[in-house]
Amino acid sequence: MTWMADAGILPHVLKEIAGHRLITTTQRYFHPDVLRILESGRALTHHLEKLQRDGQITRRW
């Protein structure tokens, strides 16, 4: 599951692949490394900055 998540498969898709009823069950199998966590934070920051530049959000997060 971790490898699939690292490959970019979305959690709700992984839930279906694994046959889990709850997403929380699927999430127990995710073990991201520190690099993935940092990359995710940078991606979110980049996304929010773009939304702000485009005027879609008006305040700082």
Does this model's pTM top 0.75? no
Buried b (16+ CB within 10 A) or exposed e, 10-48: eeeebbeeeebeeeeebeeeeeeeeeeeeeeeeeeeeee
More confident residue, 50 or 61: 50
Per-residue pLDDT of 35-52, as tens digits, reads: 888 888 999 999 999 999
8 Å CB contact between 4 and 30? no
DSSP string, 12-39: HHHHHHHT-SSHHHHHTT----HHHHHH
